[in-house]
Amino acid sequence: MTGQGSPAAPDAAGAVLAGRGAVVTGASRGIGLAIARALAAAGARVAMLARSADTLAQRAAELGGAALPVPCDVSDAAAVGRAIQVITLAFGSAPDILVSNAGIFHPQPLADITPDAFAAAIAVNLNAGFYLAHAVLGGMRARGRGHIVTIGSVADRVAYPGNGSYSPGKFGARALHDVLREELRGTGVRATLVSPGPTNTDIWGDLPGTGRFPSRDAMLDADAVADAVLYALTRAERVNVDELRLSAS
């Protein structure tokens, strides 16, 4: 694999993804950052996508040479196309792995959600997954190998009050995954949906207390979600993990 720099030398026993190139969105914090760290530790070269260039550069520097920061607004189809071109050039080939994780979660009663806020949430929670999959599928299918992982949510199958801009996007993302899974059968390209329950990340610090959500110490840890993603990615090539649903014990 060629490109800018070289991956940090992983522990040989853990280098199960050595030689693979991965794209992780929403990678500057929370679940996305945990996934990027896990994939880098497993030997992958990881392109980290997020909107905040400065924060993204700092987080990528922490991962060392295995990480490639690529500032990108994933709700912009043209920006996604440019980012995948940059990543393909840096990796020397099309990405092997896509983890579509970026999301917006601003719980409000439906009557309080503005049309612009609804459109912005759908653009990130649903449209971005299509833009990203569309941008990488050609290379994966031509190679006869690849893996698209969609990070869903318990809200991709259960409707909760206050989720009028979140659940529609997540339900749609689950449907997009289902279509991908059916279309990719027999191609060598795999598709997995990982749907965690409430997960302890910084996003909760931005939300007002409502009493509807569990306390943060009762939530899943972001590393648990990253472990689930790594599990799906490292199964035998003829094994597809269709869905993983995670909840705190």
Q: Among all residues, which ones are annotated catalytic?
A: 166
Where do we find the tokens 């092997």? 96
Give the length of the chain: 249
What is the spatial distance between Cα 204 and Cα 223, in angstroms, rounded to a whole number?
A: 16
